[in-house]
Amino acid sequence: MASFFNKGFGRKRESASSERIPPGQYETHDFPVLTAGPTPRIPLTSWTFVIDGLVKTPMQWTWEQFNALPQTSFMNDIHCVTKWSKLDTHWTGVSIDTLLEHINPSPEARYVMAHSYGDYTTNIPLDDLRNGKAFIGLNFEGKPLAPEHGGPARLVVPHLYFWKSAKWIKGLRFMETDKPGFWEQGGYSMYGDPWKEQRYRTDD
């Protein structure tokens, strides 16, 4: 592989795309759609986003209320466990840090289960959602997020494999102990670090 090159001459080309592709991945310029099951269609009038579990102030937002929260722009690389990586994706949305200001996590909360419309779930450590690491994406490349990519709103956790980025997000449940979500119950990694190739539970 390119490891010799990366350690030496490659350094001055820090942003070269090859250095941004984790092991075992290839770069794609498409945006493949990966969904287990049909695409849920959620009318914005009945859309809600809920944070509950181990939090001092459980909260529920309507679509209108959620869109009134401060929004930020994000640029990220995303890495799917099926081996494609897509560089420089542009989003706007609500940082999880903004949501945390409202709900006050209990001290014992260490993990989060993301819940989606259509019943998909995925588990993520709370520390991987805070300090600018994750957000609820509402716009992708300047347009409202398309339904097949999780619109109207999806979780985006770019530093973990993309299955952790729950499409059609409907809430976050704060938990004390880790529990497997949909793919994790099927043998995928509990954590999913693409740089460590944590694809399956046996890689954890």
Q: Which residues bind ligand MTE (CB under 6 A)?
A: 31-36, 80, 116, 118, 120, 149-150, 162-163, 165-168
Concatenated DSSP letters of 18-33: GGGS-TT-EE-SS---
Q: Which amino acid is located at 38 in the chain?
A: P
Cα–Cα dist 56/104, whole Å: 5
Considering beta carbons, is residue 81 or 94 the nearer one to Mo ion? 81
Half-sphere exposure of 136 (CA within 13 A, CB side): 28
The listed partner (Mo ion, ligand MTE, none) that binds 35, CB under 5 to 8 Å by sort, is ligand MTE
Residues that bind Mo ion (CB under 5 A): 34, 80-81, 163
Considering beta carbons, is residue 58 or 147 the nearer one to Mo ion? 147
The listed partner (Mo ion, ligand MTE, none) that binds 115, CB under 5 to 8 Å by sort, is none
Q: Is the CB of residue 136 less than 8 Å from the CB of residue 155?
A: yes
Question: How far apart are CB 9 and ligand MTE at their closest, in Å?
Answer: 33
The listed partner (Mo ion, ligand MTE, none) that binds 105, CB under 5 to 8 Å by sort, is none
Considering beta carbons, is residue 5 or 31 the nearer one to ligand MTE? 31
Question: How far apart are CB 73 and ligand MTE at their closest, in Å?
Answer: 19
Q: Which amino acid is located at 59 in the chain?
A: M
Residue number closest to ligand MTE, CB atom = 120
* Three-state secondary-structure class, residue 47: coil
Collect all residues with Cβ–Cβ distance below 8 Å to 76 and sequence separation of at least 6. 88, 89, 91, 156, 158
